[in-house]
Amino acid sequence: MSIPPLVILAIGIAVVLGMIIWLRINAFLALLTAAVTVSLLACINHPEDFPDSISRVAEAFGGAAANIGIVIGLAAVIGQCMMDSGAADRIVRAFLRLLGEKRSPWALMGSGYVLAVPVFFDTVFYLLVPLARSFYKRTGKNYLLCILAIAAGGAITHTLVPPTPGPLVMATTLGVDLGLMIGVGALVALPAAVMGIAFSRWLDRRMDIPLRTLSDVEEQEPLPDERLPGLFVSLLPVVLPVILIACHTIASTLAKPSIALAEANGTDPVGFWFNATFYTSVFGNPNFALLVSTAIAMLLVLKTRKPSRDEFAKLVEVALMSAGVIILITAAGASFGAMLKAAQIGPAIQDLFGGSDSGSYGLLFLGFGLAALLKVAQGSSTAAMIVGSSMLAAIVSDTALPFNAVYIATSIGAGSLIGSWMNDSGFWIFAKMGGLTETEALKSWTPLLLVLGFTSMAMTLLLASVLPLAGM
């Protein structure tokens, strides 16, 4: 007896949706239950894995927590401190003066668009969502528009523009020049981000989402202008980690040619950029960068609010407690995705498309659809991009394309935005940090990413036709 992998996928999805939406059970328990269910069902096809069926769920959970735990915890403290110190308010007031109140969502989208290039979307959203909350406190409107604007800017470059890991791996796997991937990725991403703003504005008029308190502590009253920190130090907790992480990304990227040459010659790598990575790998590590940023944000609170020791300790404790819930949910979602992988969902999806004899432009749709299926199945856009590009690499290498392979990469990136739901860490980051219920997130975040994905695909088809770049 065996169970088709796609049937296991359907059962896993049904467990998650049923427990969260119908039974109203906490998402952590629902995702954990689904992960265990999928792992046990996978053992019907592979009985030799039965002794490890539960332990591998825990191992996947621990691996995900190791990757995200410190970053999420520190970013939560930074966000809370930026709110309480007035740093977030200072930045919002600067935006309002520079662009005017009506253009603030554009400023938030632009911030997310730029910041998500060197760092993961989760971190960008954590760092920018306090600005949306501060904007709502000042204006009393457009809260959903603002958080969707951040999401639109951050999500689109995270999936299309290197050196974010997904697009970077796609460029390497498909043999696309990195500079070309950056340029074309940004060109595809920009109209999608603009369309995301338009959709967010339309949705904001139809969904009444209030600003909800994220903790059991009352948020402090805004400080007057004269007591707010300066704009430079207010931006520092956001900008500094981005600079530190970007420095390592740039150094490690530029060091790759010397490393490849050394491997080919059987010698030790040399060169300025390789030597620089010795230091940037420490100072550009996201955990270290955010720890430094946390220290700055905490000093801002001490300087502006002058809290007592007990008040300050409670502020930090509440931020960490809220982060703990998000870490549990995100790691459980990753564990669920890992068990779907163990159930051979990926090969099953590959078999659906493996015999495709589509034409060259059909490969764009194939990459888009394959990445979308992978995204729905396991939740990670990065994983969908990596696996999808690997599946198409052999086909692309044997096909005379009328356009550059960079458009295969952007079609896969576009597809990796489609179908974000409860096994995607980004879904939970948006819902929990934004103060939305699961149903509200499904009605806002999920369709926003559909808009971003389909617009990116449309731009890919247009550019592949009018700007094929075939000779590059």
pLDDT at 341: 76
pLDDT per residue as tens digits for the range 85-144:
888 777 767 766 777 767 888 988 988 887 777 566 877 787 788 878 877 877 778 899
Q: How many CA atoms lie within 13 A of 82 on its CB side?
A: 31
User: DSSP secondary structure string, 307-375?
Assistant: --HHHHHHHHHHHHHHHHHHHHHHHHHHHHHHHHHHTTHHHHHHHHHHT----HHHHHHHHHHHHHHHH
Greater confidence (220 vs 152) lies with 152
Q: Is the dihedral of CA 399, 393, 116, 373 positive or negative?
A: positive
pLDDT at 351: 66
As a whole number of angstroms, the distance between CA 192 and CA 200 comes to 12
What is the band of 388 on the pLDDT scale with cuts at 50, 70, 90?
confident
What is the band of 175 on the pLDDT scale with cuts at 50, 70, 90?
confident
* Mean pLDDT to the nearest integer, 383-404: 75
As a whole number of angstroms, the distance between CA 261 and CA 97 comes to 51
As a whole number of angstroms, the distance between CA 212 and CA 206 comes to 18
pLDDT per residue as tens digits for the range 329-367:
778 877 887 787 788 876 676 566 554 444 578 889 989
* pLDDT higher than threshold 50 for residue 27: yes
Q: How many CA atoms lie within 13 A of 1 on its CB side?
A: 4
For the chain, the maximum distance between any two Cα atoms, rounded to a whole number of angstroms, is 73
pLDDT at 217: 42
Burial of 98: CB neighbours in 10 Å, binned 0-12, 13-18, 19+ = exposed
pLDDT at 138: 76
> Nearest CA to 157 among 118, 104, 105?
118
Q: Which two tokens stand for residue 224?
A: 């007057």
What is the band of 398 on the pLDDT scale with cuts at 50, 70, 90?
low
Centre a 10 Å sphere on the Cβ of residue 201 and count the other Cβ atoms it contains.
15
Question: Rounded mean pLDDT of the chain?
Answer: 83
* pLDDT higher than threshold 70 for residue 287: yes
Q: For a pLDDT cut of 70, what percent of the chain falls above it?
A: 91
pLDDT at 216: 44
* pLDDT higher than threshold 70 for residue 472: no
As a whole number of angstroms, the distance between CA 118 and CA 114 comes to 8
pLDDT at 43: 92
Distance of CA 219 to the CA centre of its chain: 27
As a whole number of angstroms, the distance between CA 274 and CA 248 comes to 11
Identify the H or E element spanning 78: helix 55-85
**Which region among 14-28, 72-86, 197-211, 214-228 has the lowest average model confidence (pLDDT)?**
214-228
**Which region among 91-105, 150-164, 312-326, 416-430 has the lowest average model confidence (pLDDT)?**
91-105
pTM of the model: 0.66
As a whole number of angstroms, the distance between CA 438 and CA 387 comes to 28
pLDDT at 21: 67
Greater confidence (448 vs 339) lies with 448
What is the band of 214 on the pLDDT scale with cuts at 50, 70, 90?
low
Q: For a pLDDT cut of 90, what percent of the chain falls above it?
A: 25
> Nearest CA to 407 among 118, 147, 76, 181?
181
As a whole number of angstroms, the distance between CA 244 and CA 250 comes to 10
Burial of 353: CB neighbours in 10 Å, binned 0-12, 13-18, 19+ = middle
What is the band of 56 on the pLDDT scale with cuts at 50, 70, 90?
very high
